[in-house]
Amino acid sequence: MVERHVLGLSGGKDSAALAIYMRENFPELNIEYFFTDTGKELPEVYTFLGKLEGFLGKPILRLNPQRGFDFWLKEYNHFLPSPQTRWCTRQLKLLPFENWVKPMLAQGDTVFSYVAIRADESYREGYSSTNSNLKIVLPFREAGIDKEAVKDILEGSGVGWPEYYKWRSRSGCTFCFFQQKIEWIGLLERHPEEFQKAKDYEKDAIEHGSPFTWSKGESLSELEKPERIAQIKKDYERRMEREKQRRPVNPLRPQESYVDIDDLYYEDEGGGSCNICHK
Ligand code: SF4
């Protein structure tokens, strides 16, 4: 029976910063880094993981689900994953992790799983463990590391930001339904072939009676119309400006308070997040 230390990378900024933080502050721990690959990730995710591997000096284990997105889509009657039925997280993120740690726990190992919940976030569902030998550790909360500190860690290490943060926040899953409308437009503009695939999935879902479109209240075909794009961009800029005005200046870091797409999630757009993979 041994102790294992595991840290899941999502391709996003918080888990990357946590890996860097652990490497720098707890080099004595033999941490096993892993990435649960949905098979529907943005190409930027793999580039970023490669950069991170360079910094960490070890490979990030890829955990591939036995059955991919298309299999599960059929199992769920062609209904797109949605906040109500988040089968993608369950089948493509959680299950591969559970299958990976199961033999460790079965042989009596204690598994410490490091999770990047920041000090400025509330502890949300999704990380509770049902096995007493699987211990969830939240180092950022313990050390008071907030969003600004995550930025410092990423930039200070030289690893920097995932490239997709220029137009997208949180998730590297290409088709994540938690995307804001402005992010769908980002996908259309940067990865038009992926946007087309998303449209095809949506069309197929609607034909099979799915009540869900990827984006709340409209199909991607409606969203990609030029006048609608212009409207969404205008709305995004207005919200961004409002958020900047609203944001109190941090007297300790007056220059550094920053607002990004991540700050603009709101319920009207079906805002929310995947607590498992948006880290
Ligand atoms: S990031 Fe989005 S698409 Fe990916 S598993 Fe989580 S909820 Fe599903």
Query: Tell me, what CATH number does 160's domain have?
Result: 3.40.50.620
Given 165, 192, 213, the domain boundary residue is 165
**Count of domains forming the chain:** 2
pLDDT at 246: 80
Residue-number span of the structural domain to which 131 is assigned: 3-165
Same domain, 26 and 140: yes
Ligand 1 atom 4, closest CA: 173
210 in contact with ligand 1, CB cutoff 6 A: no
Query: Which of 260, 49, 26, 262 minimizes the C-alpha distance to 142?
Result: 26
User: Does residue 175 lie within any of the structural domains?
Assistant: no
CA of 271 relative to ligand 1 center, distance in Å: 13
pLDDT digits (tens), the chain, 279 positions: 799 999 999 999 999 999 999 999 999 999 999 999 999 999 999 999 999 999 999 999 999 878 899 999 999 999 999 888 889 988 998 899 999 999 999 999 999 999 998 998 876 555 566 788 999 999 999 999 999 999 999 999 999 999 998 898 777 899 999 899 999 999 999 999 999 999 999 999 999 998 889 998 999 999 999 999 999 999 999 988 888 888 766 666 655 555 565 665 554 554 455 556 667
Ligand 1 atom 3, closest CA: 176
CA of 148 relative to ligand 1 center, distance in Å: 24
178 in contact with ligand 1, CB cutoff 6 A: yes
Cβ atoms within 10 Å, residue 152: 14
Q: Which residues contact 193 (CB under 8 A, 6 or more apart)?
A: none
Same domain, 77 and 40: yes
Same domain, 161 and 186: no
User: Does residue 226 lie within any of the structural domains?
Assistant: yes
C-alpha distances in Å from residue 217, one per residue of 2, 261, 268: 50, 20, 10
Q: Which residues contact 150 (CB under 8 A, 6 or more apart)?
A: 13, 14, 17, 118, 140
CA of 185 relative to ligand 1 center, distance in Å: 18
pLDDT at 270: 46
Same domain, 124 and 197: no
User: Does residue 176 lie within any of the structural domains?
Assistant: no
40 in contact with ligand 1, CB cutoff 6 A: no
198 in contact with ligand 1, CB cutoff 6 A: no
Same domain, 83 and 108: yes
C-alpha distances in Å from residue 59, one per residue of 9, 50, 96, 103: 12, 8, 18, 21
DSSP 203-240: HHHHHTT----SBTTB-HHHHTSHHHHHHHHHHHHHHH
73 in contact with ligand 1, CB cutoff 6 A: no
Please state the pTM of the whole predicted model: 0.88
Is the CB of residue 12 less than 8 Å from the CB of residue 162? Answer: yes
Same domain, 92 and 227: no
Same domain, 158 and 56: yes
Q: How many residues does the chain have?
A: 279
User: Does residue 172 lie within any of the structural domains?
Assistant: no
Same domain, 24 and 97: yes
User: Does residue 278 lie within any of the structural domains?
Assistant: no
pLDDT at 279: 73
Same domain, 124 and 33: yes
Q: How far apart are CA 260 and CA 171, in angstroms?
A: 14
pLDDT at 72: 94
Same domain, 259 and 130: no
Given 131, 165, 199, the domain boundary residue is 165
Backbone phi and psi for residue 153, each to the nearest 5 degrees, phi listed first: -65, -45
Same domain, 96 and 194: no
Is the CB of residue 13 less than 8 Å from the CB of residue 165? Answer: yes
Given 101, 134, 165, the domain boundary residue is 165
User: Does residue 274 lie within any of the structural domains?
Assistant: no
89 in contact with ligand 1, CB cutoff 6 A: yes
User: Does residue 110 lie within any of the structural domains?
Assistant: yes
Same domain, 7 and 51: yes
88 in contact with ligand 1, CB cutoff 6 A: yes
